[in-house]
Amino acid sequence: MKALEIHNLEKTYANGPHALRRIDLEVEEGDFFALLGPNGAGKSTTIGIICSLVNKSAGAVEVFGNDLDLAPERVKSCIGYVPQEFNFNPFEPVAEIVINQAGYYGIPRTEAKRRAEGCLKQLELWGKREEQARDLSGGMKRRLMIARALVHHPRLLILDEPTAGVDIEIRRSMWDFLHQINASGTTVILTTHYLEEAESLCRNIAIINDGEIAERAAMHEMLRRLHQQDLVLDLREPVDEAPVVDGYPISRTGPCTLEVLVPPGHDLNPLFDGLSAQGIQVLSMRNKQNRLEQLFLNMVKNHREHSA
């Protein structure tokens, strides 16, 4: 079953700009889906329309087979939404925010309290339940929004840049948590500017640019399309100039650092053999740029050139 189906979705804001131009998108039930794009590409508008926060200009949205125009309440019941910016009342106690949200979904207060306790414990906020939300740290506020989005047990969880501005430790723990949520059967749609986050979490991906879907594919398929890899090698001993290895353009970026462009389909063994033959020992190796990031930049650039 499709968790989300979008057909010919259009949005034109009152002040003129076309935010979305006839978008088509499908997300399978159980998927972990990334919606990527540069700032202003139309990601948040798309999500806003799905979540009934933005009025669409044209097109259709279906969530688990329920049409947004015909059965908006059924659509809303299926969705949990974690927005980009904090949107809770900062003066309300943490537990009350989650309990009230459950109430808006028709969950009676006793059950709402039980669920809120579960969600807050899961996200390690139970100890803060009586504090006002404004007193939480940035990472805690993000987790509070996730707890609030999960309290009614949504089948589709939409996260709009959920880890923006949180430290790496919290981000990793949120990744683990989102993995668990997805493994339990919840479909997850994620927008993020951290492309390693999308690469690590998501199975399918769509790239949106200038209000159009520039690309839609499985993550592994997308990464396979990467034309070349840009590797950085850290050396044991300094070198005076860049060594030459046939088929591998190498540049020297520091006394002990080389940068190698590995063409698609090339193994790394000949590269290391060539370096060893010249007495160069490699201590460590890493991608210069996140692979998805490189691909993303290429696609956005190509799409812009094509549109122009």
DSSP summary character for residue 105? T
Residue 229 found at the interface with other proteins (CB under 8 A): no
CA atoms within 13 A on the CB side of 40: 4
Residue 142 found at the interface with other proteins (CB under 8 A): no
The dihedral sign for the CA sequence 126, 130, 134, 136: negative
Task: Provide the mask over 22-51, with x wherever binding to other proteins is found by CB under 8 A and - wherever it is not.
Answer: --------------------------x--x
Select 74 or 252, whichever has its Cβ closest to other proteins.
74
The span from the CA of 236 to the CA of 282, in Å, is: 6
Q: How far is the CB of 185 from other proteins (least distance, A)?
A: 21
Residue 90 found at the interface with other proteins (CB under 8 A): yes
Using the rule CB under 8 A, give the single segment among 34-42, 95-103, 165-173, 278-286 that binds other proteins: 95-103
Residue 81 found at the interface with other proteins (CB under 8 A): yes
The span from the CA of 3 to the CA of 145, in Å, is: 22
Select 149 or 174, whichever has its Cβ closest to other proteins.
149
Q: Nearest Cα to 98, choosing from 75, 73, 72, 130?
A: 130
Using the rule CB under 8 A, give the single segment among 103-111, 170-178, 288-296, 298-306 that binds other proteins: 103-111
Residue 91 found at the interface with other proteins (CB under 8 A): yes
Could you count the other beta carbons within 10 Å of the beta carbon of residue 4? 23
Q: Are 209 and 41 in contact (CB under 8 A)?
A: yes
**The only residue of 30, 72, 118, 243 in contact with other proteins, by rule CB under 8 A:** 72
Q: How far is the CB of 138 from other proteins (least distance, A)?
A: 16
Residues 257-286 that bind other proteins (CB under 8 A): none
Q: How far is the CB of 20 from other proteins (least distance, A)?
A: 12
The span from the CA of 89 to the CA of 213, in Å, is: 35
Q: Are 57 and 10 in contact (CB under 8 A)?
A: yes
Question: Facing residues of 18 across strands?
Answer: 12
**The only residue of 17, 70, 109, 167 in contact with other proteins, by rule CB under 8 A:** 109
For tokens 């979305």, the residue is 20
Q: How far is the CB of 54 from other proteins (least distance, A)?
A: 5
Q: How far is the CB of 192 from other proteins (least distance, A)?
A: 20
Residue 96 found at the interface with other proteins (CB under 8 A): yes
The span from the CA of 59 to the CA of 299, in Å, is: 26
Q: Are 237 and 256 in contact (CB under 8 A)?
A: yes
Judged by the rule CB under 8 A, the positions of this chain that interact with other proteins are 13-14, 48, 51-55, 72-74, 76-77, 79, 81, 83, 85-91, 96, 100-101, 103-109, 148
